Structure 1
Amino acid sequence: MENALSSISSSSLLPLAPTSFPSHPPAKLRLSRFKHWSSAENRRNKTLQLRNAFGSGDENGQLDGFPCIPNKFFMDEVIGAEYGEGFETFRPEGPLKVDVDFLNDRMQEGFLQRIRYAMKPDEAYGLIFSWDNVVADSRALKLHAWEQLAAEEGKEIPEDGNVQRHLLHAGADHVLHKVLRWGKAEEDIDRLKSRLSQLYHDNLLELSEPIEGLKDWLDALATSRIPCAVVSSLDRKNMVDALERMGLKKFFQAIVSEEDGMESIAHRFLSAAVKLDRKPSKCVVFEDDPRGITAAHNCTMMAIALIGAHPAYDLGQADLAVASFNELSVINLRRLFAHKGSTFMDLQKQVIEKSPSRRKLTIDTIF
């Protein structure tokens, strides 16, 4: 079968770091971080100073094997892919910008793939699952981490709904400084952030149950041979370990994790599409957050919203909103693509059908 990425590989792109499961070859795009080496180095130096202050001798920028980056889990991330923005990859001729239009153009199905997808249309789709509150109940993990931190510090967390939203979505710096007002000195804030990250990691290690109905839904997708990917800002090891404990690892053909270096939600979705070998316009994203839904639409992907962490009226821009995975069936995916796409509601000229003119039989028309 012709590979949909053959046209990309012909541009002499360097391969990605092997982040897929061993049974699947890595995609042939290398996502560069050349613009952010200096900032990453600065963060690493700060992390080393923080670890040394706490007496940790780990050399990998981690606390007990877990990255000391709590703000990655306690903040609203950049949406990304606005106005065709994408990530960059290197090739011998120089850097190449990889954006949504580029992938939709270069990842067209080959002749044999088109025949296969005509016979089995469900296999043409690629499904991308966000980790937070779609695969795992990260909302409960975050709240529990904050409650544990409050108990250790002898403090209380207000039961105000606005405060709860900040705990889930705002950065740890902002919550500690402006919302809870727990620390004033920078050393205290760093200590609290580090402890919060460690508590979140400890809770993650105990996670063994996925979101209700997810396993049955993934099993139905596997029966229909629809490839799936999961995306997160977690590091790959902790993510894979959690998937194994939940019994979900076998269902995902691709994983996008912190090691892939994606800087926005949309970039993670695009990276997942590349790993699944599906063009973005044929992918469906499962999200629980309005920002994730916006990122999916920026990538020309369909979006199915899971109601829970956000109420239904906040998820109105999704192509489909459900209360649980138990409400879904494969036919729902077909209906998402039943129309021409994002322009099917555009005004069209009405064509007045006319009866065809009668043909005049002549000698030339007789065989």
Structure 2
Amino acid sequence: MECSSCSSRSSSSSLLLPARPSSFRVPHSLVPSKLRPSKSKLHQRLSVTRACGQDRNDSVDGFSILPSKLFSQEAIGAEYGEGFETFRQDGPMKVDVDFLNERLQEGFLKRIRYAMKPDEAYGLIFSWDNVVTDTRTMKMKIWKQLASEEGKEIPEDEHVQRLMLYAGADHVLRKVLLWELSESELERLKSRLSQLYVDHLVKLRKPIGGLREWLDAVSRSGIPCAVVSSLDRISMVEALDRLELKKYFQAVVSEEDGMESIAHRFLSAAVKLDRKPSKCVVFEDDPRGVTAAHNCTMMAVALIGVHPAYELVQADLTVASYNDLSVINLRRLFANKGSTFMDMEKQSIEKSPPKRKLSIDTIF
């Protein structure tokens, strides 16, 4: 039986989720091997099932249903207008940056409302790691616990530990820690990392310093907010509830949305907030996230943390904490930009008046 949260989808959310499989299931052993779904498709189906509150076990039919992108380095995405493809009843539809900027234009009534309350025209998108809550310490504890379980040690070198915080698990295990692993062992350790992340997630009780006060300020101004993560939706909502931040976010982009890159998540959040990408501000702590935001024609505010300030210079605004921000900063970000701030500016050259021709008239 399908849960009510999945049956009552808004039009924006339905654009982002692929068609859900039928509730009728044939036993896996009776399905011919050629017709069996691939592991990735089965994983996606199980994630949707888990979002509806079913199958809360760690695995089903031998496939893990843990978040698969927690320790992976995702593509930036949206280069040169690249978007993502979603499915509707009338067929597949390509969603890209230009399409959303044009499709999500404000109507007449919204333009009047935004003229009176300009702050409401913006949308704020927050990444989860080190932007909503400090996961650096948690990730380091996870790596040390994994090393202890495998009878190994984590180097104390600061550069190595910094790489472990934002590089993909494949790169860390093979190139940074130099562990000799087979493909099966690598998959086992990546699954274990995800399991440890979910286990440690329930221990988080505090958001990033100053975030709650900042969200209070933007909430009073009527600015909608979204949070994006590679976590599954249930874990995400439960974590926000424990941090007492759930009421501030009108949209959540999680693993169930099936986005393949960082930029796709930002675009998905813009759709859920009903805001044009060019009117959204992304809060990130990673240069890759800043690049993804700019590829989506979004503004980017970078928080100094894992990456020092000199690595975040491409951001539109760099701050040490949320205490340095005010709503007026958002207005200044968009000042003199307009909806086409990524377009090339054309220099207007005034035409000089034509020169008068002098002539000498002779009277005979």
Shorter-normalised TM-score: what interval? Answer: 0.7 to 0.9
| 2:299 paired residue among 299, 302, 313 | 302
Which ranges in structure 1 are unaligned for 5 or more consecutive residues?
Answer: 1-16, 46-55, 353-367
- Give the alignment partner of residue 236 of structure 1, picking from 233, 238, 261: 233
Q: Deviations over 1:214-264 (max 9, x none)?
A: 000000011111100000111011111110110000000000000001111
Q: Which residue in the other structure is 1:40 paired with?
A: 40
Query: Under a length normalisation based on structure 1, what TM-score does the superposition of the two structures give?
Result: 0.79
Letter matched to residue 40 of structure 2: A
SS of the counterpart of 1:225? coil
**Deviation for aligned residue 1:62:** 7.4
Separation in structure 2 between the aligned mates of residue 229 and residue 267 of structure 1, nearest angstrom: 14
1:251 and 1:351 map into 2 onto residues whose CA distance is 50
- Is the contact made by 2:231 and 2:254 (CA closer than 8 Å) also made in structure 1? yes
Query: What SS does the aligned partner of 1:208 have?
Result: coil
Distance change in 2, residues 1:44/1:295 (3 Å): closer
User: Is the Cα–Cα contact under 8 Å of residues 75 and 168 in structure 1 kept in the other structure?
Assistant: no
Matched residue, 1:251: 248
How far apart, in 2, do the equivalents of 1:102 and 1:87 lie? 11
Query: Equivalent residue of 2:302, what SS?
Result: strand
Tell me if structure 2 keeps the 8 A contact 1:19–1:26: no
Q: What CA distance in whole angstroms lies between the structure 2 residues aligned with 1:188 and 1:91?
A: 39
Structure 2: segments with no counterpart, 5+ residues: 20-36, 46-56, 352-364
Deviations 1:82-140 (CA, angstroms, capped at 9, x unpaired): 11111123345432211111111111101111000000000000000011110011222
Match of 2:48 in 1: none
The amino acid of 1:321's aligned partner reads T
- Within the candidate set 76, 82, 97, 2:79 is matched to 82
TM (norm. structure 2) is 0.80
Cross-structure match for 2:319: 322
State the match for 1:119 in structure 2: 116
Q: Say if 2:100 and 2:277, in contact at 8 Å, map to a contact too.
A: yes
For the Cα contact (< 8 Å) 1:18–1:26, is it kept in 2?
no
1:129 counterpart SS class: strand
1:30 is matched with 15
RMSD: 3.0
How far apart are the structure 2 equivalents of 1:181 and 1:209? 34
- For the 8 Å contact 1:128–1:228, the answer to whether it is kept is yes
CA distance in 2, matches of 1:57, 1:162: 34
| Cα deviation, residue 30, structure 1 | 2.0
Q: Distance in 2 between matches of 1:171 and 1:100?
A: 27
From 270, 291, 299, the equivalent of 2:288 is 291
Q: 2:167 aligns with which of 167, 170, 195?
A: 170
Question: What is the rounded CA distance, in whole Å, between the counterparts of 2:176 and 2:13 in structure 1?
Answer: 45
Q: Among residues 208, 214, 223, which one is paired with 1:211 in the alignment?
A: 208
Find the partner of 2:154 among 152, 157, 165: 157
Aligned to 2:96: 99
Distance 2:200 2:58 in 1: 23
The 5-angstrom pairing of residues 193-204 of structure 1 reads 193-204=190-201
Q: Which residue identity lines up with residue 96 of structure 1 in the other structure?
A: M
Q: 1:135 aligns with which of 112, 132, 135?
A: 132
Kept after mapping to 2: 8 A contact 1:315/1:321: yes
Q: CA deviation at 1:18?
A: 5.8
CA distance in 1, matches of 2:136, 2:62: 25
State the match for 1:349 in structure 2. 348
SS at match of 2:75: coil
**For the structure 1 residues 26 and 19, does the alpha-carbon distance in structure 2 shift closer, same or farther, using more than 3 Å as the test?**
farther
Query: Relative to 1, partners in 2 of residues 1:272 and 1:340: Cα closer, same or farther, differing over 3 Å?
Result: same
Contact 2:12 / 2:271 at 8 angstroms: preserved in 1? yes
* Conservation of the 8 A alpha-carbon contact between 2:18 and 2:87: no
Aligned to 1:68: 66
Q: Equivalents in 2 of 1:291, 1:312: separation in Å?
A: 14
Matched AA of 2:179? W
Asked if the contact 1:183–1:189 (Cα under 8 Å) also holds between the matched residues in 2, the reply is: no
Q: Residues 129 and 230 of structure 1 are in contact (CA less than 8 Å); yes or no, is this contact kept in structure 2?
A: yes
Separation of aligned partners in 1, 2:83 and 2:188: 35
**Identity score, percent:** 67
Deviations 1:157-212 (A, max 9, x none): 11223321331222223322332233434444343333322222211110111111
Structure 2: distance between partners of 1:209 and 1:278: 29
The residue that corresponds to 1:59 in the other structure is 60
Aligned in 2, Cα 1:73/1:334: closer, same or farther, shift over 3 Å?
same
- Are the structure 2 counterparts of residues 130 and 100 from structure 1 closer, same or farther at C-alpha, using a change threshold of 3 Å? same
